[in-house]
Amino acid sequence: MKRLLFITILCISMLNAFQSCQKDLGNYTYTHFDSLKIRGIDTAYLAYNQKTFKITPDIALVSGEKVDPNNYTYEWYTINPSAAVLNADKKKVLGNKLELDAIISLSPANYILHLRVKNKIDNTISEFVTKLSVTSELANGWLILNDIDGKCRLDMLNYNLTTLKYEPYPDILKNFARIDIPGSPKLVLFLNDRDAITSKYVNRVYVGTDKTTMSFNNQENTWTDFRNLKKEIFRTTPDNYYAEVIQPTGRSGDPVYILDSEGTLMHQNVTQNMVYGSTINRLNGGVKLNISKFIAVNWGNSISYAVVFDKKNQRFLVHNSTNYTLLIPGSSNPEIFTPEDMKMDLVYMERVLTSTNQFYALLKNPANNKLRLVRFTHQGAIFDPLAVDDIENPYGMESAENIAADPTFGYIYYTVGNKVYQYDPFTKKHSLAVDAGTRRISKVKFQKVAAFTTNARYNDFAKKLMVCTYDPASPNTSGKMDFYGISLSGTPKLAESYSGFGKIVDVSYRE
């Protein structure tokens, strides 16, 4: 009798246990021993930003038994392993079908591509992983702003990482952005800044004319996300509002200075809660000052620092850190240099990235056109003069149309007519650098490297003198951009040349 009772209790307990397991079955995921296998997925892929990307796999069981694809759900997604990416941006879903057929809208980088397959019947999940490298047709290269019959056209020389050569892409605003910017061209500039509206760090390109300035969010190497500069200015602005000068400080994200068409100097440093809007070109409690377009910054420094020039009062002024006004600088040697009272007009000013990182300021006496070059460093608002030299002027330097300073040897290059001259501030000698013949010179510059300062290719072209010329008989089609190697002695030598442009107004490099 006891034995019969024991067996009965044991059977009831086993039945209860089985029923409990049945009730709990839906809370867990079980994988069949005969799991899914997938064919048609390679170990690595290359995709182009804003281009169609396809993978067409098929699935079956390991045993070889066919399955009905409709019995499963699918999710294709990427994981960006970069530590610099916010968590919200690490996972991006690309599609929800077995075949992946999508327009890739990912920043150029290396990703992990996942295909997750879920059985609708028993909720088992199978995961397949491969590598995805995303690049762009317009990833990095020279941005060339042309004047075509008084209208702007933006071309690009895109650097092909496979051929290691630049490939031309004409009229990218028309062909990629589908936008027409009114007015005559003034500026193009690439920089990495921080968006005051979203607080995100973005690669941005500004394209400006004498009627408007457009701001392109180029983070994804695309040209479809853009807005008028007016949207970034936190004050009311008039029609036909534009930037006269945009001067970044060569620091990723912050800060940036803008001198606009109303003569307002603004400063943005989103990290320190400073945005474009109110003027900073005034002294404490004073009226707005008329400053020069030449704005020299402490390049590569995270602390805002700019030297500007008050045209009316012929004096240097300083903006430092988060100040909302300018400061009158002093001099460590006022006997030879009084920055607060120069009694001359400013012709050119720049921060020159030689081994002794310094400011160059070229000034002209309006009474007799005599030139003076002042080179100085700074300690806060105190200027330390390195040299104050009057310049003998055999080639008409006072009427130079373009001026640029060499970051390696500290030479000054300037254009008069169809010739580029070199001035050595250390030997105080002028020499002919480039003779353009019958062509006209529209631009000379040295490109500063902002973010990728350790990139050998970038540093190589940053040392070269850029000379842009055109044939006045056919300005819309004859534009050239030549790069010259600079040596400690001797005439600059042509290193590379690119043609097929119009009259080149401005050039920047999309890093």
Give the span between the Cα atoms of 280 and 289, in whole angstroms.
Answer: 9
- Phi/psi-derived region of residue 334, left when phi > 0, alpha when psi is between -120 and 50, beta in every other case: alpha
**pLDDT score of 3 more than 70:** no
Between 66 and 344, where is the model more confident? 344
- CATH number of the domain residue 504 falls in: 2.130.10.10
Q: Which of these three, 135, 169, 190, is where a domain ends?
A: 135
% of the chain exceeding 90 in pLDDT: 77
The answer on pLDDT for 278 being more than 50 is yes
* Structural domain ending residue among the three candidates 135, 153, 171: 135
Q: Are residues 207 and 126 in the same domain?
A: no
pLDDT digits (tens, 9 = 90+) for 12-53: 343 343 333 333 333 333 344 468 888 999 999 999 877 899
Residues 160 and 127 placed together within one structural domain of the fold: no
Please state the rounded mean pLDDT for residues 404-430. 97
Same domain, 324 and 239: yes
Same domain, 301 and 368: yes
Name the nearest CA neighbour of 468 among 489, 497, 447, 492. Answer: 497
Strands 296-297 and 305-310, bridge-based pairing: antiparallel
pLDDT tens digits, 182-220: 999 999 999 998 999 998 999 999 999 999 999 999 988
Structure confidence by residue, pLDDT tens digits, 261-272: 999 999 999 988
Of the listed ranges 113-117, 120-124, 372-376, the least confidently predicted one is 120-124
Q: What mean pLDDT do residues 102-111 have? A: 86
In a domain, residue 180? The reply is yes
CB 470 within 8 A of CB 503: yes
- Does residue 339 sit in the same domain as residue 320? yes
436 is a domain residue? yes
The tally of CA atoms less than 13 A away on the side-chain side of residue 465 is 29
Strands 419-424 vs 412-416: parallel, antiparallel or unpaired: antiparallel
Q: Does residue 13 or residue 508 have the better pLDDT?
A: 508
Q: Is residue 98 part of a domain?
A: yes
* Low-confidence winner among 68-77, 98-107, 389-398 (lowest mean pLDDT): 98-107
Domain range for 99 is 36-135
39: its two tokens:
């064919």
241 & 200 share domain = yes
Question: Which CATH number fits the domain that encloses residue 100?
Answer: 2.60.40.10
Three-state DSSP state, 36? strand
Residues 89 and 147 in one domain: no
The CA-atom distances, in angstroms, between 246 and each of 142, 186, 189 are 18, 11, 8
Q: Quick check: is 18 in a domain? A: no
Q: Taking a C-beta distance cutoff of 8 angstroms, is the pair 212, 222 a contact? A: no
Look at residue 22 in the predicted model and tell me its pLDDT.
35
Amino acid at 105: S
Between CA 125 and CA 116 the distance in angstroms is: 7
Look at the alpha carbons of 407, 408, 411, 414 in this order and tell me if their dihedral is positive or negative. Answer: negative
Predicted model pTM: 0.79
Claim to verify: residue 115 and residue 190 sit in the same structural domain:
no
- Confidence at 86, pLDDT banded by 50, 70, 90: low
Residues 320 and 271 in one domain: yes
Q: Verify that 347 and 400 share a domain, yes or no.
A: yes
Bigger pLDDT: 21 vs 300: 300
Residue 360 and residue 431: Cα distance in Å, rounded?
Answer: 19
Q: How far apart are CA 509 and CA 453, in angstroms?
A: 13
> Is 58 in the same domain as 155?
no
Q: Is residue 28 part of a domain?
A: no
pLDDT at 366 over 70: yes
On the question of pLDDT at 499 being above 90, the answer is yes
| In the predicted structure, residue 418 carries a pLDDT above the cut 70 | yes
Residue 5 lies in a domain: no
Of the three residues 135, 151, 174, the one that is the final residue of a domain is 135
Mean pLDDT score, 410-436: 97
Instruction: Indicate whether 17 belongs to any domain.
Output: no
Pair 78, 110: CB distance under 8 Å? no
How many domains would you assign to the chain?
2
Domain co-membership, 253 together with 159: yes
